[in-house]
Structure 1
Amino acid sequence: MLARGNRITRGAEYKAVVRGGSRCAGAHTVTYIVITGEARPSRFGFIVSKQVGGAVVRNTVRRRLKDVCARSLPRLADGVDVVIRALPSSATADFRALQRDVDRCLMKRAAA
């Protein structure tokens, strides 16, 4: 589980990362990354729309993505903001497929 300090919570922060961040697309997710360089923990945000599925499916995908990010947190540099947009195919993807998508993008752009 991601601690509160590791989550993006405001709409303006989501917008800033999506609009100003580097974009990395995978089979099941699109990852936006901004390296702020600030001396604070890395933060994550998740966008899982109704196109992914019903509420149960969306929450399952969100929980899986949170777990993937929590496992990746020690390898990231400080001050990195990440927003992950789940694509409709993420509803049927298993945990390992989501982990491969996210890890590939994080290690390419934001590794410590």
Structure 2
Amino acid sequence: MLAKANRIVRGDDFRRIVRTGRRAGCELAVVHRTEPEAAVARFGFIVSKKVGNAVIRNRVKRRLSEIVRAELGDIETSDIVIRALPAAGTADFATLSAGIAPLLVRR
């Protein structure tokens, strides 16, 4: 799990980042990035019901969180929301990591 300082939890922050941020994507997810409101990088995850049932959605969120935690040192300070696409529900951890990690460090 990410530290509390590195999490986005307010709905207003999610809307601001998704609407005004720059996007980068792959077949597994779309990464929305915008200027930070805090001194540290903050992350939020959007996993809709199209990804799968509750068990699969929570698994995807945990995997995304672990990928972000592993890459945290290489990511520039910004507010980032990762929106999982339906293909993320069937992808294994290695495939998900290979698809998401390059999008996180992209400038």
**How much has 1:77 moved relative to structure 2?**
2.1
Stretches of structure 2 that go unaligned for 5 or more consecutive residues are: none
CA distance in structure 2 between the aligned counterparts of 1:17 and 1:89, rounded to whole angstroms = 23
1:1-112 superposed matches below 5 A: 1-36=1-36, 40-78=39-77, 80-109=78-107
Per the normalisation by structure 1, the TM-score is 0.90
CA distance in structure 2 between the aligned counterparts of 1:21 and 1:101, rounded to whole angstroms = 20
DSSP-derived class of the 1:59 partner:
helix
CA distance in structure 1 between the aligned counterparts of 2:43 and 2:98, rounded to whole angstroms = 17
Question: Percent of aligned pairs with the same residue?
Answer: 45
Residues 16 and 39 from structure 1, CA distance in 2 versus in 1: closer, same or farther, beyond 3 angstroms?
closer
**How much has 1:108 moved relative to structure 2?**
1.6
The letter of the residue matching 2:49 is K
CA distance in structure 2 between the aligned counterparts of 1:43 and 1:65, rounded to whole angstroms = 13
Q: Structure 1 runs of 4+ off > 2 angstroms?
A: none
**How much has 1:46 moved relative to structure 2?**
0.3
What is the aligned-residue RMSD (CA, Å)? 1.2
Stretches of structure 1 that go unaligned for 5 or more consecutive residues are: none
State the number of aligned residues: 107
